[in-house]
């Protein structure tokens, strides 16, 4: 079963468990997105303290943000609720991170120059630099965003240690179209989760293959399989969260690319091989999750094959496809130890026996087995990691959870090389 992008929602319920986020809102129409962002952060396990500027209150009410966060909203540096009357100190010391979303051009200039004339800017200036990171989600008109002063400000804020997130492109409230939109709440959530993820693969170039291949019989028919690509897409996301530069080569699936991952779409096994071979020469890790067809029709028909009334099916002859994993794993780069290859085996029975056999046949340092009929098209899976030392079973869990565990296992094995 192939799944539409909107239905691909890996579980992230506990991704931010134990994290306390100060969500700052400066003035801008994008404040409406901050309401959903607040809710998403809480669903991911974080606690959220909202701080709003006077300008932000022109776009969304403190009552709304209090209802969503479950905490009183702070709007003034003169707030007398803290016993010491120092909300800017107390709030910043309690935070694991401060996220300003939206960040207006005006508030960005305040941060750049160290101005502190309201609670939110005071708090940003007073935060402990070594322990409370500042993340910024800009939102402004396309001309404001492109202005040289704005771009200089971004560069200086980054040099000062702030983490400037990207912007979206599209239709803006002013009626114009271009760069400068605040990222969507789910994108900001993904960025925040990635920010807190240990960077086990920093400096690595990870290549992932995912999904099925499609082998044409004629222009309207073909041979494929039930792989949805969800496991491979989760692996690509987990690798990116762990700090790697990630390229995902995907067969025909209906999934949205993970944020921050370079995606290349292919169709047949030959297409996938042609895309992967040059990329493998620039990669340090190759994770072959794709369910590649072993066979293809030797001579696909140029036109649709029609029934002739004889009751006999068409006679098809097949050719064997090149074994992509074995080709890359036995290439000079992998043999020299510069490319760590991980294979996947989708079996229907005798998982350990078949996985061990495939490990030897493919000559890879790590083979990941799963029972295909139990996982195709689903959001959960169970994995068996097999190497020369033995095997490790990962019990059934969301595919993203398993992918993150797999990435840690790969990083640990590479560290021992």
Q: Who's near 56: CB < 8 A, 6+ residues apart? A: 25, 26, 27, 28, 31
Helix (H, G, I), strand (E, B) or coil at 57: helix
Catalytic residues: 174
Query: Is residue 271 a known part of a binding site?
Result: no
Q: At what angle do helices 87-94 and 119-126 cross, to 10 degrees?
A: 50
Q: Are 239 and 207 in contact (CB under 8 A)?
A: no
Query: Is residue 344 a known part of a binding site?
Result: yes
Q: Are 299 and 317 in contact (CB under 8 A)?
A: yes
Q: Are 358 and 335 in contact (CB under 8 A)?
A: no
C-alpha 383/C-alpha 392 separation (Å) is 8
| C-beta contacts of 316-323 below 8 A and 24+ residues apart | 316/217, 319/295, 320/294, 320/295, 321/215, 321/269, 321/270, 321/273, 321/292, 321/293, 321/294, 321/295, 321/296, 322/269, 322/270, 322/273, 323/362
Cα–chain-centroid distance for residue 326? Answer: 27
Tokens of 67: 């209802």
E strands along 9-133, which residues?
20-25, 47-52, 97-103
Give me the numbers of helices (H) and strands (E) for the chain, helices first please: 14, 19
C-alpha 291/C-alpha 285 separation (Å) is 18
Query: Is residue 294 a known part of a binding site?
Result: yes
Q: Who's near 415: CB < 8 A, 6+ residues apart? A: none
Q: Are 247 and 258 in contact (CB under 8 A)?
A: no
Selection from 282, 33, 68 nearest residue 138 by Cα: 33
Query: Is residue 145 a known part of a binding site?
Result: no
DSSP secondary structure letters along 293-323: -SEEESS--SS-----SSSPPP---EEEPP-
C-alpha 402/C-alpha 383 separation (Å) is 8
Hunting for tokens 């909202």 — which residue is that?
50
DSSP secondary structure letters along 190-239: HHHHHHHS--TTTT-EEEEEESB--EEEETTEEE--S--SHHHHHHHHHH
Binding residues for CTP: 294, 304, 344, 358, 362
């Amino acid at each position: 079963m192939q799944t539409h992008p909107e239905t691909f929602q890996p579980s992230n319920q506990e991704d931010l468990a134990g994290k306390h986020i100060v969500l700052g809102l400066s003035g801008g129409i994008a404040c409406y997105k901050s309401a959903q962002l607040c809710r998403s952060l809480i669903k991911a396990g974080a606690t959220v303290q909202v701080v709003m500027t006077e300008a932000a209150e022109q776009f969304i009410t403190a009552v709304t943000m209090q209802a969503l966060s479950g905490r009183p909203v702070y709007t003034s540096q003169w707030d007398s609720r803290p016993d010491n009357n120092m909300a800017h100190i107390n709030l910043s010391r309690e935070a694991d991170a401060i996220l300003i979303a939206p960040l207006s051009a005006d508030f960005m200039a305040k941060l750049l120059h160290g101005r502190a004339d309201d609670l939110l800017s005071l708090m940003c200036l007073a935060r402990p630099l070594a322990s409370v990171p500042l993340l910024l989600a800009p939102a402004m008109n396309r001309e404001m965003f492109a202005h040289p002063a704005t771009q200089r400000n971004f560069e200086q804020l980054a040099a000062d240690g702030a983490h400037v997130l990207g912007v979206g492109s599209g239709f803006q409230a002013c009626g114009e179209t271009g760069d400068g939109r605040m990222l969507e709440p789910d994108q900001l959530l993904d960025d925040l989760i990635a920010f807190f993820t240990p960077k086990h693969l920093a400096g690595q170039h990870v290549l992932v293959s995912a999904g099925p291949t499609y082998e044409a019989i004629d222009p309207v028919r073909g041979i494929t399989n039930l792989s949805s690509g969800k496991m491979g897409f989760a692996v690509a996301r987990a690798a990116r969260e762990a700090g790697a530069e990630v390229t995902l080569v995907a067969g025909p699936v209906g999934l949205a690319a993970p944020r921050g991952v370079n995606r290349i779409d292919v169709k047949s096994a030959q297409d996938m091989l042609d895309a992967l071979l040059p990329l493998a020469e620039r990669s340090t890790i190759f994770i072959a999750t794709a369910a590649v067809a072993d066979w293809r029709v030797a001579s696909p028909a140029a036109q649709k094959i029609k029934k002739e009334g004889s009751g006999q099916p068409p006679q098809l002859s097949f050719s064997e496809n090149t074994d992509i994993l074995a080709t890359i794993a036995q290439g000079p780069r992998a043999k020299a130890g510069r490319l760590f290859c991980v294979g996947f085996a989708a079996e229907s029975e005798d998982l350990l026996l078949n996985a061990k056999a495939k490990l030897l046949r493919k000559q890879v340092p790590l083979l990941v087995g799963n029972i295909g009929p139990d996982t195709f098209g689903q959001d959960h899976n169970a994995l068996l990691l097999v190497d020369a030392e033995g095997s490790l079973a990962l019990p059934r869990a969301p595919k993203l959870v398993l992918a993150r565990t797999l990435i840690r296992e790969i990083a640990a094995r590479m560290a021992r090389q």
